[in-house]
Chain A
Amino acid sequence: MATAHSRTAARLMLSPAVILLLLWMIVPLGMTLYFSTLRYNLLMPGMETFVGFENYYYFVNQPAFWAALSNTLILVLGVLCITVVGGILLALLMDQPFWGQGIVRVLVIAPFFVMPTVSALVWKNMFMNPVNGIFAHIAKALGLPPFDFLSHAPLASIILIVAWQWLPFATLILLTALQSLDREQQEAAEMDGANGFQRFFYLTVPHLTRSITVVILIQTIFLLSVFAEILVTTNGGPGTASTNLTYLVYAQSLLNYDVGGGSAGGIIAVILANIVAIFLMRMIGKNLEA
């Protein structure tokens, strides 16, 4: 397919994208790396001094860090579990013939279009508010004491909000995959005497693996850096109960003006993301090749 001409052209046309992304990666990251070795407070410009790894030491040794780290992981895993399992069930349901498929599909996609700040505010006020929220109204109607979700189960509440936003995505991808199932293969299996469950576990599930991988990959990218939902609901609290790594870095650098510490946190977040990324890339590398 390729001649020297087209290969040269290809390099030329590829270079803007590569150069831009390279700059985008290297320049700010290099600066973060540099800042992370300084004592640098935004309120005291011109007072920067080199402190080596001190910022890392303090960042890691604050109790908030470990809380943030585990919150980040719980958030990612929690949302992944809900959306993947829920997505499979919903997709299986919607793959059946029923009246009004088009409309239901429109309803199910909708949350994906809602910006994070809106969904967080809506859930926080209209649903989870202990006085006027719908959940509180329902509890009262049932004679139960209302539950203050964001104070008593802040992380779980945020997981619920984020899962609501991502469930449509998982459902749609899995539904698309289900619809591309080879009907003849299913019929062949039926002729071979496989019952519904056997067909599901031996044909459908393997067929879905690839799509589940895609769902996990793409969602993880976005879930590792959930921010707006926390900012407008709990501000990371109470205490650090719903602070994730992204929010912690934000708080440290822009709320406490501690650029050095925030940068160190940023680098740690990058390292964490890379560990996850390597793991994921291995996984999709295998699954996407085909």
Chain B
Amino acid sequence: MARKVSNTRKAVVTAAAWTMGFLIFFPILWIIILGFKSEGDAIKTPLQVLFSDWTLQSYHDVQERSNYGRHFWNSVILSVGSTLIALAIAIPAAWSMAFVPGRRTKDLLMWMLSTKMMPAVGVLVPMYLLFRDFGLLDSRIGLVAVLTLINLPIVVWMLYTYFKEIPGEILEAARMDGASLRSEILYVLTPMAVPGIASTLLLNIILAWNEAFWTLQLTTSQAAPLTQFIASYSSPEGLFYAKLSAASTMAIAPILILGWFSQKQLVRGLTFGAVK
């Protein structure tokens, strides 16, 4: 079935694909480079930048100016926490919809997805006031709750599509084998769905990590994740390219590395289970 592809053709495709890949990746590459330059060098022309000296000064400055560690931990807690809670709520729900479908299941799924369509600004004011009145502004608990809710529909949807692929007979076998519902989900369904659950987990951690509406509106400093940390560079420090680059690199590096390591699961997850 495999046919020989001429090497010329392969070389042309290789050149084109690498060029596109490089162009798309270039902005990220550029901030990684600028982060290791001095402020004076960072604003020179690209060629001059490349051949200037390398330094860790900017990373040092960023550390001194703001507490990267705290924002990093906030990002971790917010994204991982909200995703785990959403999974705990969504696994049973997706089980129900995938294995005990009713006449309304499709409508219910569509409705869940439609809550995701509700623009956040529609509820910005009341959420802001509720948070203010309950003392949740700039608190991690409040933000975890919000991030859980905004990602819940996507988590349910993704798990549903993965669960649909698991043959119902296996769960019935477990039932015949005397498994309670809890054992059935815990020992049979969940281990079988590990790849799907992993994709869901990763994708939602990334979405939560990068969520930049509620995190910007509802935090100021104590609970502020990296999105807020970077937003604080919008001006006038934005003109300090090296520091901005160093801070940006630190903000995106964790997720970039996580993403690259788990590429396989992620590509599956990126398609939201909708494309096989």
> In the complex the two chains form, is A126's CB within 8 Å of B34's CB?
yes
Q: Mark A148-159, 1 if CB is under 8 A from B, else 0.
A: 000000000000
Q: Does A85 contact B (CB under 8 A)?
A: no
A16 to B102, CA, bound (A): 17
> In the complex the two chains form, is B241's CB within 8 Å of A134's CB?
no
Q: Does B223 contact A (CB under 8 A)?
A: no
Q: Mark A116-135, 1 if CB is under 8 A from B, else 0.
A: 11110111111100011010
> In the complex the two chains form, is B22's CB within 8 Å of A13's CB?
no
> In the complex the two chains form, is B121's CB within 8 Å of A214's CB?
no
Q: Given the known inter-chain contacts A96-B13, A137-B45, please indicate yes or no for A111 contacting B27, CB distance below 8 A.
A: yes
Q: Does A109 contact B (CB under 8 A)?
A: yes
Q: Does A263 contact B (CB under 8 A)?
A: yes
Q: Does A51 contact B (CB under 8 A)?
A: no
> In the complex the two chains form, is B216's CB within 8 Å of A231's CB?
yes
By CB atoms of chain B within 10 A, which of A90, A104, A214, A265 has the most?
Answer: A104
> In the complex the two chains form, is A225's CB within 8 Å of B251's CB?
no
> In the complex the two chains form, is B123's CB within 8 Å of A232's CB?
no
> In the complex the two chains form, is B275's CB within 8 Å of A211's CB?
yes
By CB atoms of chain B within 10 A, which of A25, A177, A285 has the most?
Answer: A25
> In the complex the two chains form, is A21's CB within 8 Å of B153's CB?
yes
> In the complex the two chains form, is B126's CB within 8 Å of A32's CB?
yes
A7, A103, A183: the one contacting B100 at CB < 8 Å is: A7
Q: Which residues of B contact A106 (CB under 8 A)?
A: 260, 263
Nearest chain B residue, comparing its CB with the CB of A289: B106
A32 to B260, CA, bound (A): 41
> In the complex the two chains form, is A14's CB within 8 Å of B123's CB?
no
Nearest chain B residue, comparing its CB with the CB of A227: B213
Q: Does A276 contact B (CB under 8 A)?
A: yes
A288 to B164, CA, bound (A): 14
Q: Does B60 contact A (CB under 8 A)?
A: no
Chain B min CB distance to A34 (Å): 9
Q: Which residues of B contact A113 (CB under 8 A)?
A: 206, 210, 252, 255-256, 259
Q: Does A35 contact B (CB under 8 A)?
A: yes
Interface contact tally, CB-CB below 8 A:
310
Q: Does A173 contact B (CB under 8 A)?
A: yes
Size bin of chain B's contact surface: 35 or more
Q: Given the known inter-chain contacts A17-B93, A104-B21, please indicate yes or no for A225 contacting B119, CB distance below 8 A.
A: yes
> In the complex the two chains form, is B100's CB within 8 Å of A285's CB?
no
> In the complex the two chains form, is A122's CB within 8 Å of B20's CB?
no
> In the complex the two chains form, is B119's CB within 8 Å of A125's CB?
no
Q: Given the known inter-chain contacts A100-B14, A108-B25, please indicate yes or no for A245 contacting B31, CB distance below 8 A.
A: no
Q: Does B68 contact A (CB under 8 A)?
A: no
A7, A10, A262: the one contacting B124 at CB < 8 Å is: A262
> In the complex the two chains form, is A14's CB within 8 Å of B21's CB?
no
A90 to B25, CA, bound (A): 14
> In the complex the two chains form, is A13's CB within 8 Å of B275's CB?
no
Chain B min CB distance to A74 (Å): 17
> In the complex the two chains form, is B24's CB within 8 Å of A167's CB?
yes
A104 to B20, CA, bound (A): 8
Q: Given the known inter-chain contacts A21-B115, A167-B24, please indicate yes or no for A125 contacting B93, CB distance below 8 A.
A: no
Q: Which residues of B contact A164 (CB under 8 A)?
A: 24, 27
Q: Does A191 contact B (CB under 8 A)?
A: no
Q: Mark A198-223, 1 if CB is under 8 A from B, else 0.
A: 00000000000011001000100100
> In the complex the two chains form, is B149's CB within 8 Å of A132's CB?
no
A14 to B109, CA, bound (A): 11
Tell me the B97-118 residues at the A interface (CB within 8 Å). 97, 99-100, 102, 108, 110, 112, 114-118
> In the complex the two chains form, is A28's CB within 8 Å of B126's CB?
yes
By CB atoms of chain B within 10 A, which of A31, A107, A124 has the most?
Answer: A107
> In the complex the two chains form, is A224's CB within 8 Å of B119's CB?
yes
A285 to B109, CA, bound (A): 11
Q: Does A168 contact B (CB under 8 A)?
A: yes
> In the complex the two chains form, is B126's CB within 8 Å of A31's CB?
yes
Q: Does B61 contact A (CB under 8 A)?
A: no
Chain A min CB distance to B46 (Å): 6
Nearest chain B residue, comparing its CB with the CB of A136: B45
> In the complex the two chains form, is B46's CB within 8 Å of A137's CB?
yes
Nearest chain A residue, comparing its CB with the CB of B270: A172
By CB atoms of chain B within 10 A, which of A17, A101, A218, A272 has the most?
Answer: A17
Give me the interface of B with A, judged by CB distance under 8 Å: 1, 5, 9-10, 13-14, 16-18, 20-22, 24-25, 27-28, 30-31, 34, 43, 45-46, 89-90, 92-93, 95-97, 99-100, 102, 108, 110, 112, 114-130, 149, 152-153, 156, 168, 172, 181, 206, 209-210, 212-213, 216-217, 226-228, 230-231, 233-234, 238-239, 241, 244-245, 248, 251-252, 255-256, 259-260, 263, 266-267, 270-272, 274-276
- 9 CB-based A-B contacts, threshold 8 Å: A2-B100, A16-B89, A29-B118, A31-B126, A100-B17, A110-B25, A121-B233, A126-B34, A211-B275
18 more A-B residue pairs beyond the given contacts A225-B213, A249-B122, with a C-beta to C-beta distance below 8 A: A10-B100, A18-B112, A96-B5, A104-B17, A105-B21, A114-B252, A115-B251, A117-B227, A134-B46, A180-B275, A211-B271, A228-B213, A228-B231, A231-B216, A232-B234, A254-B217, A262-B125, A266-B122
Nearest 7 Cβ contacts at the A-B interface: A13-B92, A31-B126, A28-B123, A228-B212, A10-B96, A107-B21, A10-B100
